[in-house]
Amino acid sequence: MSRYVQMRANLPLDPRVKSLARMTNVSISEVLGSLFRLWSLDVEYGKTKGEDAVIPHLTEADLDEMTTEGFSRALQAVGWLEVSPEGLTLPRFREKQVDVGKRRQQWKRDKAAQRERQHATAESCQHGHP
């Protein structure tokens, strides 16, 4: 099953992204890549805790090693990361992902209904009914 990481189209313009770039002394493109890596970890290994996403067993050092030195502290400074004994927490991350999940489910239902209509039309034509 394919999994998706949602990123807003206007994310590069978010002042917090610019702050992350400034605090870590890297480009905005590198910050976006690091965010993608973090959010991918959540998709694969994250757990839901209320509206938060928790990535168990992941430490600040692990995240910095996979992204950019100082990235975890910069994320904490902008309110996008919390550290706990159970791992790293992305505060209110699930509430942002719910809308995407609902839209994806609706798209799947719409697509299935469309295929069913196409199948019914094809069968009707095969049996001589226009």
State the chain's mean pLDDT as an integer: 86
- pLDDT: is 9 or 98 the higher one? 9
Whether residue 106 sits in one domain with residue 86? no
CB neighbours of 82 closer than 8 A, spacing ≥ 6?
76, 88, 89, 91
Together in a domain, 18 and 82? yes
Residue 7 inside a domain? The answer is no
Task: Look at the chain and report how many structural domains it folds into.
Answer: 2
Do both 107 and 78 map to the same domain? no
d(CA 84, CA 88): 6
Give the range of the structural domain holding residue 37, as residue numbers without chain letter.
Answer: 12-91
Percent helix, strand, coil in the chain, to 5, is 60, 10, 30
pLDDT digits (tens, 9 = 90+) for 46-63: 999 888 999 999 999 999
For residues 53 and 85, state if they share a domain.
yes
